[in-house]
Amino acid sequence: MLFRSDDMNQTIYPIGIQNFEKIRKDGYLYIDKTALIYQLVKTGSYYFLSRPRRFGKSLLLSTLEAYFQGKKELFEGLAMEKLEKEWTKHPILHFDLNISHYDAPDSLYKILNDTLSRYEEEYGTRPTEETLPLRFAGIIDRAYRKTGQRAVILIDEYDKPLLQNLHDEEMQNRFRNMLKPFYGVLKTMDRAIRFALLTGVTKFGKVSVFSDLNNLDDISMREPYAAICGITETELRTHFDEDIHTLASALERTYEEARSLLRKRYDGYHFVAGGPGIYNPFSLLNTFKYMRLSDYWFETGTPTYLVELLKRTNYDLYDMANTETDADVLNSIDSASNNPIPVIYQSGYLTIKDYEPEFKIYRLGFPNQEVEEGFMKYLLPFYTNIQASKSPFEIGRFVREVRAGDYDAFFHRLQSFFADTSYEAIIGRNPERDTELHYRNVLFIVFKLVGLYTQVEYHTSNGRIDLVLQTDRYVYIMEFKLNGTAEEALRQIEEKGYALPFAGDDREVLKIGANFSSETRNIERWLVG
């Protein structure tokens, strides 16, 4: 359904529009997900879905709300129109936890109380219903008895209070203890509930908000619903073929080159092993609206809780690029754990790259260039003295120096990234380990960003960092030693034959050994062989 003006055909992209009725009535582009929604409502009752922010979770809930309100006219021309025959109207209780900032002990109570009060105006209340769970249960019961139809419960961003307080155990426990019995009502009031869907970025496990609600079907990693949010390759070709042609002209590229750029930058999300690749819908729609490639998803903000979690757990960023884990870890977050991977994966900064069925092991990686570049740029100021506004400029200078073969300038600039970093910012409980970890993390971020414009290979084991960096003219083979010598680092390159794969290469091979001092917390010296 597209907007038609008098003098031209124009697509109106639903950027930031989360209301299904508004999209359909005002002529915004809508990618039909209603066949999946029909399957969802006809084959179960209680669901949970985790997807990254701005992936269409709120629109999915809004579409379900319109469906259960029996608004058949909104589904004209969609798959649902042919599939659904009854169009029964149900009472709907819709909770949106995304509308508040949970920085005070009573912030969650205020949101839940306000929403319940609104539904109590419609369905009534009882004096004995003094707690949030009792009020919730009472509303569900009265809605069922008043309408003769079982209630539909839709909860958007259920996890926002918990995510905003990952660093605060006391606040976490307060909110968890409030949410557990509240969500537990969904189980106790089963007789009066037709359907329920809870969405969020993450899923908290173990002693969590769901411990009293064990009848939820988590479809986050279920193959039939892998594409219920986001845009598939098939949907891209079906709905945006003309847009790709227009984009190609704007970028002065061929159609296939434009498709390749879109795929590289915005595709690559896999929520199921072997499932379809999913494009970030927010970035894709913005690209077609403005006909330029940009980091649209990142421009809307990156949650600080991710960096706080990485820093608090002293996480080795090299492990992020080589993560292997199982479904239990990916499916739920244990707030007591020091493993940030589940949060990073569920937040959309890592995705499934491969799966080993014999051992049920998932290999993770960055989904696309927008995420990889944006995340690294975001991390850089937290690990160095470089201001966020200067990060792109500094990385650009790195790349130019590497391409020109000016390794001295490159290493002098690298030294500046470590300079003036406070001792407190580096050192935790284990000074030696934390110093090494800090320099490893800075190198990882820098080389990841440089690698977006060159070719980079990483080989890591036993705390050792080997780096192979390639341009059209040079091959850099680098070895770093902590509290060793540049000579030792260079000797290791020779003894282990790191340069042998490039023996027949026409490019100049530069073997560089460098040492990092824990005393000065910086690179001291480098040698070229």
Output the CA–CA distances (angstroms, integers) from residue 529 to 199, 248, 478, 491, 505, in the order listed.
Answer: 56, 45, 10, 9, 17
pLDDT higher than 50, residue 117: yes
At 36-79, the pLDDT tens digits run 999 999 999 999 999 999 999 999 999 999 999 999 999 999 99
At 467-485, the pLDDT tens digits run 888 999 999 999 988 889 9
Annotation: CATH topology of 31-97+104-220: Rossmann fold (3.40.50)
- Distance between CA atoms of residues 384 and 415, nearest Å: 11
- Distance between CA atoms of residues 151 and 145, nearest Å: 10
- Distance between CA atoms of residues 202 and 50, nearest Å: 6
DSSP 105-137: TTHHHHHHHHHHHHHHHHH---TT--SHHHHHH
| pTM over cut 0.85 | yes
| pLDDT tier for residue 6 given thresholds of 50, 70 and 90 | very low
By CB neighbour count within 10 A (0-12 exposed, 13-18 middle, 19+ buried), where does 218 fall?
middle
Question: Which of the pair, 192 or 392, is modelled with greater confidence?
Answer: 192
Taking the C-alpha atoms of 55, 59, 64 and 68 in order, what is their torsion angle to the nearest 10 degrees?
170
- Phi/psi region, residue 70 (left: phi>0; alpha: psi -120 to 50; beta: rest), is left
Determine how β-strand 193-200 pairs with β-strand 46-50.
parallel
- What was the pLDDT predicted at 337? 64
DSSP 477-500: EEEEEESS-HHHHHHHHHHTTTTG
Determine how β-strand 324-325 pairs with β-strand 278-279.
unpaired
- What was the pLDDT predicted at 425? 53
Q: CA 225: distance to chain centroid?
A: 18
Who contacts 61 (Cβ-Cβ below 8 Å, separation ≥6)?
94, 154, 156, 197, 199
- Distance between CA atoms of residues 352 and 516, nearest Å: 34
Question: Which of the pair, 378 or 79, is modelled with greater confidence?
Answer: 79
- What was the pLDDT predicted at 459? 62
- Distance between CA atoms of residues 235 and 240, nearest Å: 8
- What was the pLDDT predicted at 381? 86
Q: Which residue has the tokens 């980079």?
A: 456
pLDDT higher than 90, residue 149: yes
- Distance between CA atoms of residues 388 and 425, nearest Å: 17
Q: Quote the percentage of the chain above a pLDDT of 70.
A: 92
- What was the pLDDT predicted at 465? 57
CB of 303 within 8 A of CB of 348?
A: no
- Arithmetic mean of pLDDT over the chain: 89
- Distance between CA atoms of residues 67 and 221, nearest Å: 24
* Beta-carbon count within 10 A of 57 CB: 23
For 109-113, what is the mean pLDDT? Answer: 97
- What was the pLDDT predicted at 458? 65
Buried b (16+ CB within 10 A) or exposed e, 353-365: eebeeeeeebebb
Bridge partners (DSSP) listed for residue 195: 152
- What was the pLDDT predicted at 471? 92
At 426-448, the pLDDT tens digits run 555 555 667 778 888 888 888 88
Domain borders along the chain are: 31-97+104-220, 230-251+258-371, 384-528
Output the CA–CA distances (angstroms, integers) from residue 67 to 70, 279, 442, 455, 496, in the order listed.
Answer: 5, 26, 50, 49, 64
- Distance between CA atoms of residues 397 and 98, nearest Å: 40
Q: ∠ CA(448), CA(450), CA(455), 5° rounding?
A: 85
